[in-house]
Chains A and B, each alone.
Chain A
Amino acid sequence: MSTPLEFTDAARERAAEILGRYPEEYRKSAVVPLLHLAQEEWGYVSPEAMACVASLIGCSPVKVAEIATFYPMFNKEPVGENVLAVCHTLPCALTGCAGVYDHLSKKLGIGLGETTEDGRFTLRKSECLAACDRGPVLLVNRRLHTHVSPEKVDEILENLDKG
């Protein structure tokens, strides 16, 4: 059994607000939003983070793990400071996402799902992000970049460096 992590006060407040969205007897509905909150707090959902969510919902950690392992958005392992996801579904493939992915992979020296040694970047592919008219598209953390090209990728990474 993992000892639950503790949310910060701000996150705890937010968790209470999330739990308030569902009828008292159906608190379990909050599991996905609370896992998002946990991931924002700790970058990934470790067994200890799942235990924290489970204690808020009042269910066993296994129930939370069952959900967390289903959804692709939840990181089960630590990830880089910046997660880059290149959409690779058909419309983006038709507009050249392969070139963007290859450029990123070469530039960062990492393959699919890997993280750079300095821990700054994790490279992923994503399914369609519903911006197919503006492909290729790249999700950088919470922000969507459209019409990306290898040159634009360089610019995006540089701006991340500055920020």
Chain B
Amino acid sequence: MMTISRTDLERIAVLAQLKLSEDEADGLAGDCQAILEYFEIVREAGAVESEVDGPVGRAAPLREDRFDCDPLVERLEDLAPDWREGYFILPRLPALDADATSDDDDV
């Protein structure tokens, strides 16, 4: 049977960028354990060939390459928590080189 340890929980919290207080982490570890135990029943179900279907089992529709976006009716600067000279602003990522963008990284 699978168990979810505090270490697992901390790893998951980092992946999910989720700050958890000590109390929350304790509660979550217990809850998740109970839920995962309950989920164990699915192991009894039979096997199935895992041919990947789309969500509806049909083909993705293709859009013509035309300017056709749904226009915004509010200004982005009214939406943004922090905005400056046309940019979304947030505190600098630490330990990043000045020219790094995620395309140098993950995309």
Q: Do A and B come from one complex?
A: no
B residues lining the A interface (CB < 8 Å): none
A residues lining the B interface (CB < 8 Å): none
